[in-house]
């Protein structure tokens, strides 16, 4: 049975194979591509800073940050101020936050039989857009991070404005999402205790429990996360055992005959990426507890993603304290890009997980560019003997509607995947 | 119950940037009270994409996002076929963003004959000639939510919008992005020592800013209500224009030290003369830091 899954920033076709009333195999197909990697070839390297945010309307900022870091890795001895690093990290945090609000209120709620809460999605995500715009001029589609730093200079008044947007967003969280002081939510280490909280998130978690969905969506319990910064750690987690010594050299992309999306594996194994993966690698107590009690199910996946809103707001608040406005925003690279022939790569944590960019430059022009998006990791289409992460999560379910819920719990992004 | 205007939001070869820019509209409650989507990429709608392509659902406005090619399909149906079907029954068509209007970035995505609805960059396209009278273009990568939403209200209220040669409402596109930029004085007085990471300076001379010859309201209707790219210090990339994206975007193309692209309507000779005079000003306030000690 073929089902067109809609409103995932595009569509995907899922071909379900049933055996004795249960899903036995799911073939995932993306029907198009936009060939961004080809578009980039032969262009000036810096133009990638303008083109790549246009990979995706909802996580384009992650593509900007990945691009600038990949280009910077092509230089030897490039200087970057701490201030520029912090600003980039802040704006990327804000993008993650706006994404998670939209996903929860627009994508998840209807799958649980509720009406979309459009205003609850747009109000806080607009605040985060404003926060990015203070630095980047606009959101979406700014190119404000350039090789050597950021183009903006910010003032104390900008910081005050920024803090207002963050306080207002936090207030929204505390009045709607999880109705308690954020400290209580962030210090809670018992996933079961969360069910006693009030708010839109606990409501959904209670519904999962009440409707016996706790077992749904389990996959390999195998996670990976490459983009490290002042909050996220790099590493992989296998049945809660975490190792940090992993290399991007073991990440492989491979063509799939039936789909425009390429498969991604690490040492020939499929891994889950995204907020749940990040929390497992970071050993966040609340999420680790959820994973222990309910596995890598939709419960843990939903909780991890929404929890990241509060975590990143809290962390961003701390990051701002480290900003030294007297530092340079931008330090001009000592070598002109037109003289540069080199290659490099980057890995950043986008809303949906690890995003990798690889670039090859010849005399300042792009010779080759490769993008590996988070959704490719989660949706890699394996075989019956070796399922992809989301494929495995859908096996054994008895109906397509639940499978759609499980599928969308990965926060699938079709446009990214069909870059 | 008052009648809502029904919109079909159709994405072709797109990144959904316009979809998310639209979600930045601050008065969404009011908007959704006046309009409803028979289909939208993110907002729930009464019909599925499958319904849209297999049936003919009544609607008033066809809104197209993304570059258009016969080869590109949605739910197994060519976007051109979907456009042809719905363009016949709607009152108005709105091409949202630069891809749907001129082809934009995804003009290069490798599908056969990819372009905007009526324009392939600056060239008028041969297709859809009969729809010219119905179409309004709101270009931009992405479009500003206010430009889109207020154009939709103008349609609802049957306001006769004056359009430019690319079918863009003059209300928004008669201005240049340069209008209202906080760095204007550095341009006026030819202070040409811009460095990234500073409040001061104008990106026109060295860093590729296209604001003086790009039509748009970015510095009149601020982005996210707070800022603009040029105010922040990022050159205008000319994203509302048919030429988007040009090449070598962070560099100003010059001939004999004169920028190749001059402000709209300004001749080279006059520009040179004026630049010479303006440079003579040597305004101390603009030579040093804006917030000096």
| CATH code assigned at B103 | 3.40.50.700
Q: Tell whether B270 and B226 lie within a shared domain.
A: yes
Superfamily of domain A2-412: Cytochrome-c3 Hydrogenase, chain B (1.10.645.10)
Q: Tell whether B24 and B145 lie within a shared domain.
A: yes
Residue range A245-281, pLDDT digits in tens: 999 999 999 988 778 889 999 999 999 999 999 999 9
The pLDDT assigned to A114 comes to: 98
Task: Round to the nearest angstrom and report the end-to-end CA distance of chain B.
Answer: 62
The pLDDT assigned to A359 comes to: 98
Q: By CB neighbour count within 10 A (0-12 exposed, 13-18 middle, 19+ buried), where does A419 fall?
A: buried
The pLDDT assigned to A52 comes to: 98
Q: How big is the A-B interface in CB pairs under 8 Å?
A: 197
Q: Tell whether B52 and B83 lie within a shared domain.
A: yes
Q: Tell whether B113 and B240 lie within a shared domain.
A: no
CB contact under 8 A, B24 and A10: no
Q: Which domain holds residue B120?
A: 5-171
Structure tokens at A306: 């929404």
DSSP A372: E
Q: Does A364 touch chain B (CB under 8 A)?
A: no
CB contact under 8 A, B42 and A9: yes
Q: Does A3 touch chain B (CB under 8 A)?
A: no
**CB-based contact B99:B105 (threshold 8 Å):** yes
Q: Tell whether B181 and B229 lie within a shared domain.
A: yes
**Portion 111-140 of A in contact with B at CB < 8 A:** 115-116, 118-119, 121-122, 125-126, 129-130, 132-140
The pLDDT assigned to A31 comes to: 86
Q: Look at residues A212, A78, A53 and name the one whose alpha carbon lies nearest to residue A140.
A: A53
Structure tokens at B275: 């630049």
Query: Which comes out higher in pLDDT, residue A239 or A41?
Result: A41
Q: Which chain B residues touch A161 with a CB distance below 8 Å?
A: 226
**CB-based contact A272:A296 (threshold 8 Å):** yes
pLDDT tier at A81, thresholds 50, 70, 90: very high
Q: Tell whether B55 and B109 lie within a shared domain.
A: yes
Q: Tell whether B83 and B209 lie within a shared domain.
A: no
Site from A29, A151, A168 to mutate, B interface, most B CB atoms within 10 angstroms:
A151
Q: What is the mean pLDDT of residues A201-216?
A: 97
* Angstrom distance (rounded) from CA A169 to CA B107: 38
Q: Which chain B residues touch A64 with a CB distance below 8 Å?
A: none
Q: Look at residues A314, A316, A317, A288 and name the one whose alpha carbon lies nearest to residue A303.
A: A288
The pLDDT assigned to B257 comes to: 87
Q: Tell whether B179 and B150 lie within a shared domain.
A: no
Q: Which residues pair with A7 in a beta bridge?
A: none
| CATH number of the domain to which B287 belongs | 4.10.480.10
Residue range A361-377, pLDDT digits in tens: 999 999 999 999 999 99
The pLDDT assigned to A259 comes to: 80
* Angstrom distance (rounded) from CA A370 to CA A374: 13
Task: Give the count of domains, chain B.
Answer: 2
pLDDT tier at A381, thresholds 50, 70, 90: confident
What's the whole-number average pLDDT of chain A? 96
**Quick one: closest CA in A to B23, which residue?**
A122
**Portion 203-232 of B in contact with A at CB < 8 A:** 218, 223-232
For each successive 10 residues of chain B (293 residues), what is the average pLDDT? 90 96 98 98 96 97 98 96 98 98 97 97 95 98 98 97 98 98 96 96 98 98 98 98 98 93 94 90 92 83
Give the end of a domain, one of B141, B171, B201. B171
Q: Does A106 touch chain B (CB under 8 A)?
A: yes
**CB-based contact A217:A404 (threshold 8 Å):** no
Q: Look at residues B257, B13, B30, B289 and name the one whose alpha carbon lies nearest to residue B153.
A: B30
């Amino acid at each position: 049975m073929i089902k067109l899954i809609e409103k995932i920033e595009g569509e995907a076709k899922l071909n379900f194979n049933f055996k004795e009333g249960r899903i036995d195999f799911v073939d995932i197909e993306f029907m198009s591509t936009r060939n961004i990697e080809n578009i980039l070839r032969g262009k000036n390297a810096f133009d990638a800073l303008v083109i790549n945010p246009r990979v995706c309307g909802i996580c384009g900022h992650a593509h900007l940050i990945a691009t600038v870091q990949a280009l910077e890795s092509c230089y030897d001895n490039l200087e970057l101020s701490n201030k520029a690093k912090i600003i980039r990290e802040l704006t990327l945090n804000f993008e993650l936050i706006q994404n998670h609000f939209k996903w929860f209120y627009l994508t998840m709620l209807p799958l649980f039989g509720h009406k979309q809460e459009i205003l609850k999605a747009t109000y806080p995500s607009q605040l985060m857009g404003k926060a990015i715009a203070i630095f980047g001029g606009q959101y979406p589609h700014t190119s404000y991070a350039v090789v050597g730093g950021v183009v903006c200079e910010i003032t104390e008044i900008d910081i005050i404005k920024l803090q207002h947007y963050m306080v207002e967003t936090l207030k929204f969280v505390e009045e709607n999402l999880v109705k308690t002081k954020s400290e209580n939510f962030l210090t809670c280490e018992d996933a079961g205790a969360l069910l006693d909280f009030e708010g839109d998130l606990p409501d959904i978690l209670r519904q999962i429990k009440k409707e016996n969905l706790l077992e749904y969506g389990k996959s390999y319990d195998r996670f990976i996360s490459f983009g490290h910064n002042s909050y996220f750690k790099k590493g992989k987690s296998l049945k809660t055992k975490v190792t940090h010594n992993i290399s991007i050299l073991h990440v492989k992309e491979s063509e799939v005959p039936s789909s425009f999306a390429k498969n991604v594996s690490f040492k020939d194994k499929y891994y889950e990426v995204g907020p749940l993966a990040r929390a497992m690698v970071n050993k966040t107590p609340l999420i680790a507890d959820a994973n222990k009690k309910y596995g890598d199910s939709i419960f843990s996946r939903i909780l991890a993603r929404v929890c990241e809103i509060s975590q990143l707001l809290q962390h961003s608040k701390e990051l701002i304290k480290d900003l030294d406005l007297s530092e340079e925003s931008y330090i001009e690279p000592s070598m002109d890009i037109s003289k540069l022939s080199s290659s490099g790569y980057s890995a950043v944590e986008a809303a949906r997980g690890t995003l990798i960019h690889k670039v090859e430059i010849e005399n300042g022009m792009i010779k080759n560019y490769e993008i590996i998006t988070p959704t490719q990791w989660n949706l890699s289409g394996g075989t019956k003997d070796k399922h992809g992460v989301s494929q495995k999560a859908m096996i054994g379910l008895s109906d397509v509607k639940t499978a759609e819920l499980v599928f969308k719990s990965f926060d699938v992004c079709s446009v990214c995947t069909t870059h | 119950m008052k009648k809502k205007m029904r919109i079909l939001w159709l994405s072709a070869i797109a990144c959904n940037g316009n979809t998310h820019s639209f979600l930045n509209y601050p008065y969404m409650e009011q908007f959704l009270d006046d309009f409803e989507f028979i289909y939208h990429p993110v907002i729930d709608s009464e019909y599925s994409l499958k319904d849209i392509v297999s049936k003919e659902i009544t609607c008033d406005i066809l809104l197209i996002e993304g570059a258009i090619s016969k080869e590109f399909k949605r739910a197994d149906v060519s976007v051109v076929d979907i456009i042809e079907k719905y363009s016949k029954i709607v009152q108005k068509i709105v091409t949202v963003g630069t891809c749907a209007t001129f082809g934009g970035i995804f003009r290069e995505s490798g599908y056969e004959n990819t372009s905007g609805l009526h324009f392939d960059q600056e060239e008028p396209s041969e297709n859809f000639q009969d729809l010219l009278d119905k179409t309004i273009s709101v270009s931009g990568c992405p479009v500003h939510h206010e430009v889109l939403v207020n154009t939709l209200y103008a349609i609802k209220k049957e306001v006769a919008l004056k359009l430019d040669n690319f079918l863009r409402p003059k209300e928004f596109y008669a201005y240049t992005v340069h209008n209202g930029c906080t760095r204007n004085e550095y341009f006026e007085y030819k202070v040409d020592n811009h460095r990234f990471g500073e409040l001061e300076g104008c990106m026109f001379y060295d860093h590729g800013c296209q604001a003086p010859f790009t039509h748009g309201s970015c510095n009149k209707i601020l982005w996210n209500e707070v800022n603009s790219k040029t105010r922040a210090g990022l050159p205008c990339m000319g994203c509302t224009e048919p030429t988007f994206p040009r090449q070598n975007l962070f560099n100003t193309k010059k001939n004999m030290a004169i920028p190749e692209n001059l402000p709209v309507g300004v001749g080279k000779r006059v520009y040179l003369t004026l630049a010479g005079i303006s440079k003579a000003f040597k305004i101390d306030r603009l030579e040093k830091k804006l917030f000096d000690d």
